[in-house]
Amino acid sequence: MCMINNNTYIALSVYKMSETDGKYDIMPMNPDDKPTVVQFLKEFFFRRGPLLMSSKLWEDAETMDKLTTHRLRILDTGIVFKAVSTNGDLMGVILNEIITRDCVGLDDDEDSRRLQEKSVNFKKLMNFYKKIDRESDVFGKYPEVNRIMHINLVAVDDTFKRRGVCTALFDKTKELALENQCPVVHVECSSHFSAAAAMRLGYRCIYSLNYRKFKDEDGQTMFNPQPPHEEYQVLVLDV
């Protein structure tokens, strides 16, 4: 799978919330936002995920630096939206990409392989993601579909949770899928809570992997998060 260049998607309209919805706007990220968005995602995505928090990978500065570099490449090529309060506070971010059937994904491209060199822990983590991609086989489950809107990651500031921010960001992605002739929206969830939130919006699970059953190349369990985080789930929404 690969990402379509961001020139292919249709106009990035601003989605305004009403007064009763919490007084914030959903709008595209602009180039000047990148440093702020990077720091936001480090704080509210990478440091909060049960997969990394439960493993020693979080303590490995080199692995975390490589993972951040790898995942945030999409800031330059993807479809990125932010939720901004009327006071200008960054409340949430969602990173989307259009993936296609015939291309190699970001987890197995040349840049990813270069990052894995001389980094055993990062390579193990990439092997986990590749296993998820291979076994979930989303395109195999949709033989007539060639383009899918993929939610790479979504994060919301803890201060602004329970205000509909995550729902509004997911709704914007669904709108983008319709505009770009992507009949399926695809998201992977490491957190029980994020998967539950997606299901409330109509997403259904097509694959799951229990963390305790995944072994690395040495036969060791890599992840052992606290309940209720028991499995990594892949979910889809037909649009």
**Cis ω on the peptide bond leading into residue 183 (within 30° of 0)?**
no
Closest CA to 97 of 107, 84, 88, 83: 107
In the predicted model, residues of the chain with pLDDT beneath 70 are 1-22, 56-58, 104-119
The pTM (predicted TM-score) of the whole model is 0.84
Decide if 26 contacts 15 (C-beta within 8 A): yes
Q: What is the total count of domains within the chain?
A: 1
Alpha-carbon torsion 185, 189, 192, 197, what sign? negative
The pLDDT score that the predictor gives to residue 52 is 77
pLDDT tens, residue by residue, 101-144 = 987 455 555 665 665 566 677 788 888 988 999 999 999 999 99
Q: Give the C-alpha separation, 26 to 17, whole Å.
A: 8
CATH number of the domain that residue 209 is part of: 3.40.630.30
CA atoms within 13 A on the CB side of 120: 5
**Residue 18: predicted pLDDT:** 39
Q: Which residue has the tokens 């800031």?
A: 75
- Please give the pLDDT value at position 117: 62
Strands, E assignment, 56-89: 79-85
Domain containing 133 equals: 2-238
Determine the pLDDT at residue 22.
61
